[in-house]
Each structure stands twice: as C-alpha cells, then as structure tokens.
Amino acid sequence: MKNLFAFALSSLTRRGGKNFFIFTIFALMIFILAGIFTITHALKAEMFATLEALPEITVQRIVAGRQTDIDAERAERIAEIPGVTDAMPRVWGYYYFAKAGVNFSIVGVEAFGTSYKSSLESVADLFGEKLMEGDTMVVGPGVAETLARNFFKDYFYFVKPDGSLKKVTIAGIFKPETTLESNDIVVVEQGLARELFGMSEEAATDIVVKVANDEEIPTIARKIREIYPDTRVVTKEDLRISYQNVFDYKSGIFLALFIIAIFTFFIIIYDKASGLSSEEKREIGILKALGWKIGDILKVKLFEALVISLGAYLLAVTLAVGYVFGLNAPLMRDLFMGYSVLKPPFELPFTLDVGTLALIFFTTVPVYIAATLIPSWKAATLEADEVIR
Amino acid sequence: MNLLSPDVIAILMLDGILSLFALLALAISVRIVLKWDADATTPLQYTLEKRAYLVATIIEYIFYLKLPLFLYFIYTLDLLSNILPGAMCAAGVTNATVYGMWLFVVKILDLYLFGLWIVVHRIDMRRPDYPYTKPKFLFFILIFPVFMLEYWLEWRHFGGIDPHVIVSCCGTLFSAAKTSAVSAFVTLPTPVTLGLFYGNFLLIVAAWFFKKPLLTALANLLFIPVAIVSLIAFFSTYVYEMPHHHCPFCLLQGDYHYVGYAMYTALFVGTFFGIAAWVAERLAYPAAKRWMKWSLIGDILYVALVSYYPISFYLKNGVWL
Amino acid sequence: MIEVKEVTKVFNPGRPNEMTALENVSFEVGENELVILKGPSGSGKSTLLSLIAALQKPTFGEVIVRGERVSKLPEDFAALYRRHTIGFIFQKFNLIPTLSVFENIITPLMPEKLDEKELRARAERVMEEFSIAHKANELAKNLSGGEQQRTAIARALVNDPPIILADEPTANLDAKLSKAFLEYVHRIKEEGKTILIATHDPLFFDLDIADREIELHNGKIVNSED
C-alpha cells in the first residue's frame, strides 16, 4: 500500500505537465467556490450578530402597502400587553449625502433614556450632555471619514425636506461593535432626528417591543396585530429565517451555476484521464506483465486522483481563507455588497465552520474522483500482452 | 422546490452522480448474471471479468462516499432546522414531510447493504474460481431498487419541505403523550427497556464468548432497533439531563459535544461487523473471528458511551431522572 | 515444470482478420532446463511466452506450470502467479524510462507488503549480482544498452522466481552485449532456474548453450530436439 502510494506520487511528478494543468484548474474552481461560501458564511455570521441585538418585535405601520410613520403613543398601549417588558418608539431613517453619493443612517436617541439597544444606550449616555445641547451628533467612523473628505471636520449642513439647511456639530465619533452595522450611523437626539426628517412631534418610524420570554413572542405579535390592524409586526425569528433564506438562495443559485461548471470540468478530467499516451499504456502493460493486479493499478490511479483533488482542495481552501479574511475579498465581496459605498469598508469577521468546509469538500473532491473512475478502470484493464508482442 | 440551500443541492447532486454510476453497474450486473460462465474461455467471458472490476470499483466508491455523506446529510438536516420554524434539531426536519423518516431508514439500510456487498465481494475475489460472482451481482441487482428508492425519497423529502409551514420539534415528536409508533416505546416501563437493552448486549457478549457467528449476527440485527429505541426512551434524557427530552437527533449537536456521531458510529461498526462476521463464516472467510472481535468492540463502546450518562448523572446528583 | 498441452491460440476468432498464432502445440520443460524457442518472427514464439506467463489465454488446450493450470487463472490470480513464479525479460527490455534503476528493479515488489528495508535489501542483492548498483539512482533512459540489459535482468530476478522467460533478449544488442547476456543466462541457470528463451539470434545456436531447442513455424512445432 505504502509502496503503491509512493509509486503514485512519482507517477504524478513524472507526468508533471498534464497533472499540473488539471491541478491548477481544479484548485481555481475550488478557490472560487470556497471564496463565495466563506464570504456568505462570514456575512451571515455578521448579520446574525446584528440580529441578536435587534428587538424581539418590531411594529411598523403600513399605508397603501408602504411603511409609514407610526403614532408614538401606540407604544404605551403595546407596553400594557402582558408579557411585554418595554415598548419604545424609534425615530430613524436614511439621509442621502448626494455629494459623496452615500446614505447615512440617522438614529434618534433620547439622551440618558433607555434605548432598544445597549450600544446606542451607551452612546447616548457617553455623549448625553453634548447631544442635549442640541444640534449635535455622534457619528460612526465611516461617516466621519466621508465628511472629512468633503471638508466637514467639525460640523455638517443637513438639507431638510423643505430645502432649508440645518447645521449640526460633530460631538464625537464612536467605535462600532460590528462594523457592517454601525459604520454609517449618525446618532442624534430624537427631536433633532424628527426635524431632519420633517416628521411631526408625535410620530415615530416604528415601535420596538421587548419580550421577556421568547416563547410568548408569537402570541404577543398576534395581539399587536389585533389591536392595530394597520400594522406589520415583524419578529426577530421572521427576520432570521428570511435572512437565512436570502443567503441560502444566493449561494444556492451560485452553486447551481457552479454545478454546470463542475460538470464541464468533469468532462475535461474524464477526457484527460482517458487519453493515455502510448508511453503510459506501455508502462501499465509492463507493470501487469511484472505481476501487478488490476486492483494494484486501480489503487495507484485512485491515489493519484486523491493526491490531486485533496491537494487542490487544501491549497484552494487555505488561499481562499487568506483572500477573504486577510485581504478582505477584493472583487468577490462586491457580489454581495452591491449597495452603499459607505458599507464596504467592513471587515469580515473570521468565521470558518466545519459545515462550510464539508460543503466545499463534497461539491468538489468526490466529483473529481468520480470523473477518474471509469478512465482508471479502462487503464487498469488494458491488455498487457502488447508489451511482449 | 422550495429549498434552495447549497447543502441540499450538494447532496442531491452527489447522489445523482452515484445513481448514474449505479445504473451503469446495474446494466453490467444483469449481463453478468445472465452470461457469466467461469469455465468459458470466450471473449465475452473476458469482457465480463473486466467489467466486473468496474462494478466493484463503482460500488466501493458509492459505499465509501456514502459513509461520510450520511454524516453530512444529518448535519444538513440539523442546519435546516435553523430555517424551519418550530424545528429545534434534525428531528423536526426529518418529520417535515411524510418521506423524511423513510428516507432515514432507507439510507441506513443502504449503508448496511452496500457494506455487506463489499464483504461478499472481498471474499469472492480470494478464490480463483470466483465462486460467488453470480450471487454477488444478483445481490446488487436486488440492492439497486433500494438505492433508487432512497434517491427518490430524497427528492420528495427535500422538495417537499416548505419553510413556511411550522413543523414539530423533537419535544413533541418523541414525547410520551403522543400516540405515534415511536412514542409507544417511550411509554415502556424503564426496567423493561433497560432489561431488553442490556439483555441483548449480554447475548452479544455470550455469542462472542461461545464463538457463535449466527447468534452474533441475529443479536446484532436485533440490537439496531433495541439500541435506538432505548436511546430515545431512556439514555437520551440523561444526555440532555431533562426527563422529557427524548430525541435521537439533538445528540448530534454541538451543545452535547457531537456525542451522537460517536455513538452512532460505534453502533454501526458494532452491528455491521456482527452481521458481516456471520456472512464471512458462511463463506469460509478467515476474517470472521477478527470481525466478531471488532463487532464486540464497537458494541461495547456504544454501551459504554450511552451508559456513561445515567451513571455519571446518578453519581453527581444521587438520584435518577 | 512447464507443460504446454495441445495449445491453440486464435486471434479475433470469427472475424475477417482471424489469425491462428499457435496450432496444437505441446511440449514440456523440465526443472532447471534451458530451452530455446526458435523460429522466424511471426511464428508464434512471443504468443507462446505470453500464454505461459498467463498474459493471454489459449483458445484451446491448457498450460500447466508446477501443477497449476495457469491457462484457467482469472486476471488477479494470473498476476499473482506472474509475480511469484515468472521473471520476464522483454524485447528491448521495456524499462520504465522515467524511473531510476532502483525503482525499475523494485516494481515487481511494489504491490507486496514489504517495508523499505526489505525492498532495498532485495534490490541491492540483484543489483550487486549484475553490477548495476553504482547506477542505482540513474534514470533508466540515461543508461547505456548494457546497463539497460543488466537492469532488466535484475528486475526479472528480484522476486527470485523459479522460471525466467526471455523474449528476443538480444534483438537490439551488439555482439559483445549479446555474448554478455549469454553469460548471465548461464549464471542464472547455475542458480537452478528454469529458462525459456524465444529468439532467432544465431548466436544462441552457435554457442550451443541450450539443453533443448524447439522450433516453431507458422504456429506449429516443426522439430523438438534434445
């Protein structure tokens, strides 16, 4: 066994050119696949980290099929439902900064008040006094950078919906927990947020609801729907499943395309493995005449296929991990992050699970070996007597 | 198809490739069964001899790929339980369609059948007259429909899963309250379950001690359902340390250190070689004794693994669940 | 040792290109005998060797070697039989050009469960015997004719087989190397091997080294003299 393995290794190096070609193409395919899957997985992990911080239930008002402002006072009625710990109106939205072509996420907070999110609460506490002074904001690092690039170092003029300008001073820059989520955030006092969006005093963007016991979430969501039939009630679970589905769908479509590619490759390998040179044929003939069994030659062929496919797999996966987490996946990440220019400077969190590795493995290595199966058998059952004719 | 998860696509694709190969193997097998003549020196016989190698290669490929693929299949079910509302583990996903449980059973059956085929093949290849070639290929022709059934079930199951329909979690599926076939066993009195389980195990040990291959095979065959039922009814609750959590799937999750994979592997090794040893003995293959030993080791390992949980629980807490 | 019984070999039977290579050939070779198969090319010598080596099967008749009906062996068992019983010296030697001398010599041993040490020891023994040890790591394609010849003989003997089959071993050699080959044959015979050489090189007959000559013509034995 060990000797046959050594023979397979030597056989690979002796026919280096042909094998190198296959190895390279195969490694490249695995690399692309591994890149896509690791990015998907990392993004998914990041999304779920974001999701964890989200409130259990979000209540939005829908008019004519579109989301619109909700009456902030509804929060008090919702808070009375048994099982609800807290219900808070939120004021938030996007502000398009035309000059840089990016969107900021403006989030209104109540200084020193409770917030639906601990990170925002700490921001509000930390910069509370400054935010209370009025017309000040705390921004994420991405926003600060974009503004500075446009010569707004200390303040910024927002254009309000009525066209008038509003000067807001930068009170501080905060360090985001997860980069994907808070890089583009602008935190302001709630009143200021309403002013910037042109919303009325009692309006809110949506209402978030905290629930102590997860099991009660569906029941509470149903009750809210009954009280306010014009609302859409989204639970964390709903979001999680739809995120998961979107990601699965994206990588699923990709995989479907990839399968077409791999079948093409299957044919290439099949063809390469079948096309034995006369020298190879003679070699197999010699081996058989010297007492090698069909099984011995099959083993050598299998070892060759294993070395190439496993080698390509290990190399490609290592390279892909370096490419995604070391270099932050240039080019490939654009497939996933098509939107705001501000979003991309995130760093993908390092997540690599056995499942992703297994998925990459099962979609490549067995396919390669399958493609060499019949050619190997053909080679192993060649007539040996030709060498002595 | 409602689920376009990459893992599901990968499994369906691989099983598709395997099915194509199996089809080729079937075509050759039929010819061999009809035309094989060990005494003939005709070109046809030589061709068949060579093709027989192809069939064997294909079947070995299928088997050795199916072993890890089965683990991956379970893993995928576990993964899908994140998407399916209500599912906490692979149990919910398995029960998402009526085909799920059958798919599981047939998949396991296939592993045993393909494994046994390879055993017969190995034995056959040791004698120059290839005495079991025809029966061996006939055996494959009989296995083939089971394999196709598996693939069909797989499509029906994965295709039928609807991510919007709430499925049951293992808590209700294996609870004593529910009147399903599985639940019936859960309601068996614990002493009966344990008596069956350890009695069966003792029978295996005795069969090994007195070197009775047929008894080993039968006892191991019986041990497959007995081990699984007792795992659901009794042992799993100690792994989870929850008296009403009966589930053979949650064991496979990281929360329990993936101990399920070790348990099921030990059980498979134990029972498979127990049955294979008898086949080997019937076909006068010298490995029979060694396999009986492997079988015993696998079974002991399984029993030790599952017994560890209640015993350590008792030692820690001084009570039973 | 070797019994060839009423062997007939027909290639492509029933087809337009049907060709009878051997017709009703019978002979025996005793232990430690050196027998030469002679006859013009195309007379069936090589076919006969490949039948004895169980590389092919006779259409009719049988080949029995050391009591075993090798003409009935299926492929795997034929391979084992070759591995343990037959040492083959091919026409043009048929070394694997991209392997070293050492690697070429151990190829018959590779499928066996032998450790590195044993493998090396066995190779050393034959390499010493045929004075090729100094070239052990040289690629076969860089060898001179004589070195190739000695490597091929060493490879045939590495398994210590009781029977040596040689197919036109001197066809591509000059007179000096051919003579050297005969000396090696002589030495191998001294070791107690049974040797069967297919050749039409007159050198073999001039030196009269054979115990017996069997002459083939158009697939039939025309004379078998002692």
Same domain membership, residue A99 and residue A12: no
Which chains are within 8 Å of A by 3+ CB pairs? B, C
Q: C198 near C48, Cβ under 8 Å?
A: yes
Are A289 and C98 in contact (CB < 8 Å)?
A: no
Evaluate whether residue A231 is within a structural domain. Answer: no
* Domain interval for residue A266: 2-50+246-388
- Residue C100 DSSP symbol: B
Same domain membership, residue A189 and residue A124: yes
Q: Exposed, middle or buried, C71 (CB in 10 Å: 0-12/13-18/19+)?
A: buried
Are B4 and A253 in contact (CB < 8 Å)?
A: yes
Q: Exposed, middle or buried, A328 (CB in 10 Å: 0-12/13-18/19+)?
A: middle
Q: C10 near C59, Cβ under 8 Å?
A: yes
Q: Where are the beta strands (DSSP E) in B214-320?
A: none
Which chains are within 8 Å of C by 3+ CB pairs? A, B
Mutate to test the interface with B, among A236, A284, A294, A362 (most CBs of B within 10 A): A362
Those residues of chain C whose CB sits closer than 8 Å to some CB in chain B are 13, 57-59, 72-77
**B50 against A329, higher pLDDT:** B50
Are A388 and C112 in contact (CB < 8 Å)?
A: no
Evaluate whether residue A9 is within a structural domain. Answer: yes
Q: Which of A244-258, A316-330, B4-18 is predicted least confidently? A: A244-258
Evaluate whether residue A370 is within a structural domain. Answer: yes
- Angstrom distance (rounded) from CA B148 to CA C56: 39
**C87 against C208, higher pLDDT:** C87
Same domain membership, residue A182 and residue A152: yes
Q: Which of A301-315, A324-338, C161-175 is predicted least confidently? A: A324-338
Q: Number of residue pairs across A and C with CB atoms under 8 Å?
A: 83
CA torsion angle C34 C37 C38 C42 (round to 10) = -160
Tokens 């490739």 appear where? B17
Are C113 and A14 in contact (CB < 8 Å)?
A: no
Question: The tokens of B116 are what?
Answer: 């046994």
Task: Return the amino acid letter for A49.
Answer: A
Evaluate whether residue A56 is within a structural domain. Answer: no
Same domain membership, residue A74 and residue A44: no
Between the two ends of chain A, the Cα-to-Cα distance in Å is: 31
**A85 against C29, higher pLDDT:** C29
Evaluate whether residue A302 is within a structural domain. Answer: yes
pLDDT band at A338 (very low <50, low <70, confident <90, very high): very low
pLDDT score for B304:
95
Q: What is the mean pLDDT of residues A90-115?
A: 79
Same domain membership, residue A252 and residue A381: yes
Q: What is the mean pLDDT of residues C77-101?
A: 91
> Residues 6 or more apart from A70 whose CB is under 8 A from it?
A59, A60, A61, A89, A203, A204, A205, A206, A207, A231
Same domain membership, residue A377 and residue A263: yes
Sheet holding C68-69, edge to edge: C19-29, C2-11, C60-65, C68-69
Q: Which of A146-150, A171-175, A179-183, A266-270 is predicted least confidently? A: A179-183
B6-35 vs A354-380: helix crossing angle, rounded to 10: 30
- Angstrom distance (rounded) from CA B99 to CA B273: 29
DSSP letters of B146-183? HHHHHHHHHHHHHHH--TTS----HHHHT-SSS-SHHH
pLDDT score for A176:
58
How far from B56 is each of A154, B14, B118, C192, CA to CA, in Å? Answer: 76, 19, 8, 41
The gap from C-alpha B276 to its chain's centroid, in whole angstroms, comes to 14
Between the two ends of chain B, the Cα-to-Cα distance in Å is: 43
- Angstrom distance (rounded) from CA C69 to CA C75: 13
CA A169, A173, A179 angle in degrees (round to 5)?
Answer: 135
Q: Which helix (H) or strand (E) holds A173?
A: strand A165-173
- Angstrom distance (rounded) from CA A305 to CA A301: 6
Tokens 């309000």 appear where? A160
Counting the structural domains of chain A, the total is 2
All residues of chain C having their beta carbon less than 8 Å from the beta carbon of residue A389 are 46-47, 50
- Angstrom distance (rounded) from CA C180 to CA A389: 24
Looking at the complex, report in whole angstroms how far the Cα of residue C8 sits from the nearest Cα belonging to chain B: 12
- Angstrom distance (rounded) from CA A366 to CA A196: 58
Helices (H), chain C: 45-52, 75-85, 101-106, 116-129, 145-157, 175-190, 202-207
- Angstrom distance (rounded) from CA B56 to CA B137: 10
pLDDT in tens, B83-92: 777 777 888 8
pLDDT in tens, A185-201: 888 888 888 888 888 88
CA C154, C156, C160 angle in degrees (round to 5)?
Answer: 90
Same domain membership, residue A111 and residue A45: no
- Angstrom distance (rounded) from CA A285 to CA A290: 9
Question: The tokens of B236 are what?
Answer: 């799993």
Looking at the complex, report in whole angstroms how far the Cα of residue A313 sits from the nearest Cα belonging to chain C: 28
Looking at the complex, report in whole angstroms how far the Cα of residue A283 sits from the nearest Cα belonging to chain C: 6
Are A37 and B4 in contact (CB < 8 Å)?
A: no
Q: For A13, which residue in chain C has the nearest alpha carbon?
A: C98
**Final residue belonging to a domain, choices A176, A204, A232:** A204
Structure ipTM: 0.91
Same domain membership, residue A266 and residue A190: no
All residues of chain C having their beta carbon less than 8 Å from the beta carbon of residue A277 are none
Task: Return the amino acid letter for A47.
Answer: M
Q: For A286, which residue in chain C has the nearest alpha carbon?
A: C94
**CB-based burial, B225-256: b 16+ in 10 Å, e otherwise:** ebbbbbbbbbbbbbbbeeeebbbbbbbbbeee
Which one of C56, C112, C119 has the shortest CB-CB distance to A385?
C56
Q: C150 near C187, Cβ under 8 Å?
A: no
* List of long-range contacts for B72-79, beta carbons under 8 Å, 24+ apart: B72/A358, B72/A362, B72/B7, B72/B11, B73/B11, B73/B107, B74/B249, B74/B252, B75/A355, B75/A358, B75/B7, B75/B252, B76/B5, B76/B7, B76/B8, B76/B11, B77/B249, B78/B249, B78/B252, B78/B253, B79/A355, B79/B5, B79/B7
Evaluate whether residue A277 is within a structural domain. Answer: yes
For residue B276, which of B86, B114, B77 has the smallest C-alpha distance? B114
Are B41 and C13 in contact (CB < 8 Å)?
A: no
Question: The tokens of B263 are what?
Answer: 């348990």
Same domain membership, residue A147 and residue A46: no
pLDDT of B103 higher than 90: yes
Q: Which of A191-200, A230-239, A292-301 is predicted least confidently? A: A230-239
Check if B289 contacts C (Cβ < 8 Å): no
What backbone phi and psi angles, to 5 degrees, belong to B218?
A: -65, -45
**A242 against A323, higher pLDDT:** A323
All residues of chain B having their beta carbon less than 8 Å from the beta carbon of residue C59 are 41
**B26 against B244, higher pLDDT:** B26
Task: Return the amino acid letter for A317.
Answer: V
The gap from C-alpha B249 to its chain's centroid, in whole angstroms, comes to 14
pLDDT score for A121:
62
Question: pTM for this structure?
Answer: 0.83
Tokens 């696949």 appear where? A33
pLDDT score for A220:
87
Same domain membership, residue A142 and residue A251: no
What does pLDDT average to over chain A? 82
pLDDT in tens, B223-256: 999 999 899 888 988 998 888 788 888 888 888 8
pLDDT score for A72:
84
Q: What is the mean pLDDT of residues A21-27?
A: 90
Q: A207 near A78, Cβ under 8 Å?
A: yes
Q: Exposed, middle or buried, A157 (CB in 10 Å: 0-12/13-18/19+)?
A: exposed
Question: The tokens of A99 are what?
Answer: 């000059």
**Final residue belonging to a domain, choices A179, A204, A229:** A204
Three-state DSSP at C64 gives: strand
Q: What is the mean pLDDT of residues A23-40?
A: 88
Portion of chain A with pLDDT greater than 90, in percent: 17
pLDDT of B183 higher than 70: no
Q: A188 near A106, Cβ under 8 Å?
A: yes
Check if C72 contacts A (Cβ < 8 Å): no
What does pLDDT average to over chain C? 90
pLDDT of C85 higher than 90: yes
Query: Which pairing describes strands C2-11 and C60-65: parallel, antiparallel, or unpaired?
Result: antiparallel
Q: For C79, which residue in chain B has the nearest alpha carbon?
A: B128
pLDDT in tens, B262-319: 999 999 999 999 999 999 999 988 888 899 999 999 999 999 999 999 999 999 888 8
DSSP letters of A195-211? HHHT--TTEESEEEEEE
Q: Residue ranges of the domains in chain B?
A: 2-160, 170-317
pLDDT of A344 higher than 50: no
pLDDT score for B220:
95
pLDDT of B205 higher than 60: yes
Check if B125 contacts C (Cβ < 8 Å): yes
Q: C90 near C65, Cβ under 8 Å?
A: no
Are C59 and B43 in contact (CB < 8 Å)?
A: no
Same domain membership, residue A382 and residue A275: yes
Looking at the complex, report in whole angstroms how far the Cα of residue B137 sits from the nearest Cα belonging to chain A: 18
For residue B124, which of B27, B207, B211, B36 has the smallest C-alpha distance? B36
Q: Exposed, middle or buried, A359 (CB in 10 Å: 0-12/13-18/19+)?
A: buried
Tokens 């022709």 appear where? B141
Evaluate whether residue A222 is within a structural domain. Answer: no
Same domain membership, residue A75 and residue A40: no
Query: Which pairing describes strands A136-139 and A165-173: parallel, antiparallel, or unpaired?
Result: parallel
Q: What is the mean pLDDT of residues B207-221?
A: 92
**Final residue belonging to a domain, choices A172, A204, A236:** A204
Are B10 and A255 in contact (CB < 8 Å)?
A: yes
The gap from C-alpha A197 to its chain's centroid, in whole angstroms, comes to 31
Portion of chain B with pLDDT greater than 70, in percent: 95
Evaluate whether residue A324 is within a structural domain. Answer: yes
Q: What is the mean pLDDT of residues A99-109?
A: 83
Q: For C98, which residue in chain A has the nearest alpha carbon?
A: A14
pLDDT score for A286:
92
Check if C86 contacts A (Cβ < 8 Å): yes
- Angstrom distance (rounded) from CA A247 to CA B6: 10
Are A290 and C98 in contact (CB < 8 Å)?
A: no
Which one of B41, B125, B128 has the shortest CB-CB distance to C57?
B41
How far from A244 is each of A238, A239, B74, C148, CA to CA, in Å? Answer: 10, 8, 19, 66
How far from B83 is each of B250, B255, C52, CA to CA, in Å? Answer: 16, 18, 67
pLDDT of A19 higher than 90: no
